[in-house]
């Protein structure tokens, strides 16, 4: 069971989407929420800094009672994201991961862009230091490429659905026994990550963030059981699909039987290098 805590509007929406699966206990934190089980209403503040400086002692105390693995979901551009470090402080006794949603910058004000960059940089440092077990970074603009043209009225719904379903299926595979696997323990230092999806008949991986300096890539093949039983060419096709031209990237894959008619590929890419820095300068 994973404790999922959505911070802000986007974080809460993705947490809601994950609530359909029994593997998660859902908590939500945002301005304007009504009190209820697993709900942490936050007082609206006049400045971004106040969300951290005046973080509710009652919410802090309630967060400290949570036990078990934790996934924080937050979008960097919202003012409430500035309270993320206070939330992490309250949860420091738990194993913690963060799913950071980077919004499309064309939708952001200058202030929101600055805040997004600050959250992005700070959380990467926390991942590098080992305070976070993993930081998953996803980008709305990259996910648009997965779903194609999206009507304005359902833009965030579609994007959030892709994020939540991909994370869930990755999590299911990660905690299931594969039929065949070349996966090994990843590097303790490569904690900055992104997710992606792919197809067997297309060699292009659609990653959810343009991660640079990738050192590890894991492919989770969710394959129809009948094909697993009857296709003699499947293994060679899977090996070919998981092959990387860049020999500096350590690649592994696992094969997981499903009852779905369609096959799916879920991908995890990791790096230990801070993103958003021009190392060539």
Question: pLDDT tens for residues 87-137?
Answer: 999 999 999 999 999 987 777 788 888 888 999 999 999 999 999 999 999
> How many independent structural domains does the chain possess?
2
Q: 7-64 pLDDT, tens per residue?
A: 999 999 999 999 999 999 999 999 989 888 999 999 999 888 898 999 999 999 999 9
Residue with tokens 């036990």: 67
Q: Is residue 82 in some structural domain?
A: yes
Q: How many other C-beta atoms lie within 10 A of the C-beta of residue 20?
A: 11
Q: Is residue 279 part of a domain?
A: no
Q: 192 and 128, same structural domain?
A: no
Q: Outline where DSSP puts E strands in the chain.
A: 2-7, 24-31, 39-42, 70-75, 96-102, 134-139, 180-181, 192-199, 202-207, 216-224, 250-258, 264-271
**For position 221, what pLDDT does the model report?**
95
Which of 132, 153, 172 is the last residue in one of the domains? 132
The answer to the question of residue 153 being in a domain is no
CA 60/CA 56 separation, integer angstroms: 6
- Alpha-carbon distance values, 72 to 25, 87, 210, 238, 248 (Å): 12, 9, 21, 33, 31
* Residue 278 within any structural domain of the chain: no
Backbone angles phi and psi of 78, in degrees to 5: -85, 145
Q: Provide DSSP, 120-174.
A: HHHHHHHHHHTSSSEEEEEEHHHHHHHH-S--GGGHHHHHHHHHHHHHHHHHHHH
Q: In angstroms, rounded to a whole number, what is the distance separating the alpha carbons of residues 114 and 230?
A: 54
Residue 173 lies in a domain: no
Residues 37 and 124 in one domain: yes
Q: Is 174 inside a domain boundary? A: no
Q: Are residues 23 and 118 in the same domain?
A: yes
Over residues 9-25, the pLDDT tens digits come to 999 999 999 999 999 99
The whole-angstrom separation of Cα 152 and Cα 1 is: 34
Q: Which domain holds residue 32?
A: 2-132
Residue 13 and residue 114 in one domain:
yes
Q: Range with the lowest mean pLDDT among 107-111, 112-116, 181-185, 205-209? A: 107-111
Structure tokens at 167: 């994370």
Tokens for 97? 């991961």
The mean pLDDT of the chain is 90
pTM: 0.93
Name 192's bridge partners. 135, 271
**Considering the domain boundaries, does residue 33 fall inside one?**
yes
Domain ends where: 86, 117, 132? Answer: 132
Q: What is the CATH number of the domain that holds 10?
A: 3.40.50.1440
The answer to the question of residue 161 being in a domain is no
State whether 48 and 117 are in the same domain: yes
For strand 96-102 and strand 70-75, is the pairing parallel, antiparallel, or unpaired? Answer: parallel
From residue 13, alpha-carbon distances to 28, 51, 73, 115, 236 in Å are 9, 20, 10, 20, 40
């Amino acid at each position: 069971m994973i404790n999922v805590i959505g911070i802000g509007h986007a974080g809460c929406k993705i947490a809601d989407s994950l609530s359909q699966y029994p593997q998660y206990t859902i908590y939500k934190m945002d301005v304007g929420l009504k009190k209820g089980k697993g709900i942490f209403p936050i007082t609206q503040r006049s400045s971004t800094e106040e969300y951290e400086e005046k973080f509710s002692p009652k919410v802090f105390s309630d967060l400290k009672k949570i036990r078990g693995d934790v996934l924080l979901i937050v979008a960097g551009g919202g003012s409430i994201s500035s309270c993320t470090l206070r939330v992490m402080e309250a949860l420091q006794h738990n194993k913690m991961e963060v799913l950071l949603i980077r919004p499309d910058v064309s939708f952001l004000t200058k202030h929101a862009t600055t805040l997004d960059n600050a959250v992005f940089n700070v959380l990467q440092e926390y991942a590098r230091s080992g305070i976070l077990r993993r930081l998953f970074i996803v980008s709305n603009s990259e996910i648009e490429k997965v779903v194609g043209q999206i009507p304005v009225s359902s833009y965030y719904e579609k994007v959030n659905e892709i994020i939540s379903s991909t994370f869930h299926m990755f999590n299911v595979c990660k905690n299931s026994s594969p039929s065949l696997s070349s996966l090994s323990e990843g590097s303790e230092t490569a904690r900055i990550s992104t997710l992606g999806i792919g197809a067997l008949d297309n060699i292009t991986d659609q990653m959810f963030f343009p991660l640079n300096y990738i050192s590890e890539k894991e492919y989770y093949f969710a394959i129809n059981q009948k094909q697993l039983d009857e296709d003699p060419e499947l293994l060679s096709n899977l090996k070919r699909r998981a092959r990387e031209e860049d020999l500096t990237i350590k690649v592994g894959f696992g094969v997981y039987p499903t009852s779905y008619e369609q096959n799916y590929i879920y991908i995890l890419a990791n790096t230990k290098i801070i993103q958003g820095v021009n190392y060539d300068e």
